[in-house]
Amino acid sequence: MSPPAIDLRTAHAAGVERLLDSYRAVPPSASVRLAKRTSNLFRSRAQAHAVGLDVSGLTRVIAVDPTARTADVGGMCTYEDLVAATLPHGLTPLVVPQLKTITLGGAVTGLGIESTSFRNGLPHESVLELDILTGAGEVVTASPVEHEDLYRAFPNSYGTLGYAVRLCIELEPVHPFVALRHLRFHSLTDLVAAIDRLTVTGAGDGERVDYLDGVVFSADESYLTVGTQTTTSGPVSDYTGQQIYFRSIRHDDGITHDRLTIHDYLWRWDTDWFWCSEAFGAQRPWIRRLWPQTFRRSSFYWKLMRFERRFRIGDRIERLRGRPPRERVVQDVEVPIEGCADFLDWFLATVPIAPIWLCPLRLQGDSWPLYPMAPQQTYVNIGFWSTVPLGSSDGETNRLIERTVSNFHGHKSLYSESYYSSEEFDELYGGETYRTVKRRYDPDSRLLDLFAKAVQRR
């Protein structure tokens, strides 16, 4: 006999009660944090003394409504599990961040982006309503018409205004396959002009553009990948085995074509953590053949990286080679498209990191106070994730990047190290708006302050 089906709403309600019980068990003098075993943050953090909240009951997809094209989801549900629940209905979230273990709550409170962002914006823009555990220990429902101040301040607050308990999000229909065109550019100016044109028109060479991102290998070698959904069946590529996706896009000139299932397209970057799996040897053919496929995913590489950071293995190796330690530069920045080519020129000439990921973005509605960007303005997310030789001061390269991004009227995501002064931080990330909402929903400061969490806790 089969076990009885789980009533997912009842199970979620029980999970919320365990969450609240764990909050009540935290001494009033103690800070509050989540008790979670995984993270996609790259900030160095001091040893945590806060008591963790029990979020074990918030990991499920509660319901998918194929007619309304919505999903009710626990705040700790991963996008891997969410997509697994929606794809059988021919639906996906409007934006699916590229790493499987990013949680929906994490993408909304910390911002997320992917190749639909040129037409769908950021994940929080598709949130219809969400339940938030505030610093005051209350679960409130926030939406454009209820607790609207918290709803709008929650994106980019990184758990300092509360934690997402449940989210109701929009979904969009998708086809089973994605046809890809990899466009080669020899000039960054031409690359950025193509991004601008494709973002505004949503079409290129007579084909609809459903997905758009790019990779820069050097000033004279860069690519845009244009994806179009299709129902046409046929041979598809597989980049979960010996073949490596980012290498497949490179060619001498013109355009090359590829096809993936929609599932494999959504997770095309996860198998090799973009290209960062190379740091662990996972791209060397003989190692890759021995590397278990179940461990060929971003969550496992993240565990390896955490182990390396704990024991400073990289610095030890550099010391044995007679070289100084290296500075970690793991950042995503958004630059208005008008300055994108100049920023890329500056970056390639100044920071010895390549490849670089590009992802165009346009907000679909109004600006959001903690990460203000102009509505209907095209930005380009520029992601770079590596290390550079250590300079003469702490975070020298990261500080230089911060200043340059500000000079280009851009913004930097806060998932990694930041070095702003409190005045600069206020100007860029919500300032008084943040403090007003913080006082209302976390009056006793049970949760960390955003500046303290993003900048001071290194």
Question: What distance in Å separates the CA atoms of residue 391 and residue 190, rounded to the nearest whole number?
Answer: 33
The HSE-up count of residue 299 (CA atoms within 13 Å, CB side) is 14
Question: What distance in Å separates the CA atoms of residue 274 and residue 252, rounded to the nearest whole number?
Answer: 21
DSSP tag of 94: S
Which helix or strand (DSSP H or E) is residue 245 part of? helix 245-248
Long-range contacts of 144-152 (CB under 8 A, 24+ apart): 149/436, 149/437, 149/440, 150/437, 150/440, 150/441, 151/127, 152/368, 152/369
Strands 162-173 and 177-185: unpaired
In this structure, is the dihedral angle defined by the CA atoms of residues 450, 451, 454 and 457, taken in order, positive or negative? negative
Q: Spell out a b/e string for 145-155, using b for 16 or more CB atoms within 10 Å of the CB, else e.
A: eebeebbbbbb
Question: What distance in Å separates the CA atoms of residue 361 and residue 377, rounded to the nearest whole number?
Answer: 8
- For 320, the 3-state DSSP assignment is helix
CA dihedral 80→167→171→356, nearest 10 degrees, is: -50
What's the confidence (pLDDT) of residue 222?
Answer: 98
List, in order of start, the domains of the chain with CATH numbers: 8-174 (3.30.465.10), 177-268 (no CATH), 312-419 (3.30.70.2520)
Locus of tokens 């208005």: 336
Whether the CB-CB separation of 177 and 227 falls below 8 Å is answered with no
Distances in Å between the Cα of 57 and the Cα atoms of 14, 26, 77, 137 are 7, 18, 10, 17
What's the confidence (pLDDT) of residue 106?
Answer: 95
Q: Which two tokens stand for residue 260?
A: 């993936």
- For 365, the 3-state DSSP assignment is coil
What's the confidence (pLDDT) of residue 47?
Answer: 46
Q: What is the pLDDT along the chain (458 residues), one digit of tens a residue?
A: 334 557 999 999 999 999 999 999 999 888 888 766 655 555 555 444 556 899 999 999 999 999 999 999 999 999 999 999 999 999 999 999 999 999 999 999 998 999 999 999 999 999 999 999 999 999 999 999 999 999 999 999 999 999 999 999 999 999 999 999 999 999 999 999 999 999 999 998 888 999 999 999 999 999 999 999 999 989 999 999 999 999 999 999 999 999 999 999 999 999 999 999 999 999 999 999 999 999 999 999 999 988 887 877 777 776 777 778 899 999 999 999 999 999 999 999 999 999 999 999 999 999 999 999 999 899 999 999 999 998 888 899 999 999 999 999 999 999 999 999 999 999 999 999 999 999 999 999 999 999 999 998 65
Whole-model pTM: value is 0.94
The HSE-up count of residue 433 (CA atoms within 13 Å, CB side) is 20
Question: What distance in Å separates the CA atoms of residue 410 and residue 430, rounded to the nearest whole number?
Answer: 14
Whether the CB-CB separation of 261 and 218 falls below 8 Å is answered with no
Give the largest CA-CA distance in the chain: 68
Question: What distance in Å separates the CA atoms of residue 165 and residue 143, rounded to the nearest whole number?
Answer: 14
Locus of tokens 């129902």: 231
